[in-house]
Amino acid sequence: MNIHTNIALKSFTTMRLGGMADVMVELKSLEDITSLYTQAAERQLPVYILGSGSNVIARDEGYRGIVALNRIMGFEIVQEDEMSVTIRVGAGENWDEFCAKTVEMGLSGIAAMSAIPGTCGASPVQNIGAYGQEAADVIVSVEAYDTTSGQFVELSAEDCKFSYRHSIFRGEAAGKYCITAVTFRLYRGMPQPPFYDALQNYLDSQNITLYTPQVIRDAVTAIRAKKLPDPAIQPNTGSFFKNSVVEKWLYDEVATKFPDVPHYDMPDGQIKIPTGWLIEQTGLKGQLLHGMRINPANALVLINESAGSYSDLAAAREEIITQVRDMFRITIEQEPLELV
The verdict on whether 335 is a catalytic residue reads yes
* Residue count (the chain): 340
Nearest to 235 by CA among 19, 10, 61: 10
Among the options 52, 114, 167, 239, which is catalytic?
Answer: 239
The verdict on whether 108 is a catalytic residue reads no
Separation between Cα atoms, residue 119 and residue 128, nearest integer Å = 11
Among the options 93, 134, 143, 335, which is catalytic?
Answer: 335
Contact criterion met (CB below 8 Å) for 215 and 236: no
Among the options 16, 165, 217, 293, which is catalytic?
Answer: 165
Separation between Cα atoms, residue 106 and residue 119, nearest integer Å = 21
The verdict on whether 165 is a catalytic residue reads yes
Q: Which stretches does DSSP call E strand in the chain? A: 3-8, 20-27, 47-50, 56-58, 63-70, 75-80, 84-90, 107-108, 129-130, 133-134, 139-146, 151-156, 177-188, 244-246, 264-265, 271-273, 288-289, 292-294, 302-304, 337-339
Q: What is the DSSP letter of 251?
A: H
Q: Kindly list the catalytic residues.
A: 165, 239, 335
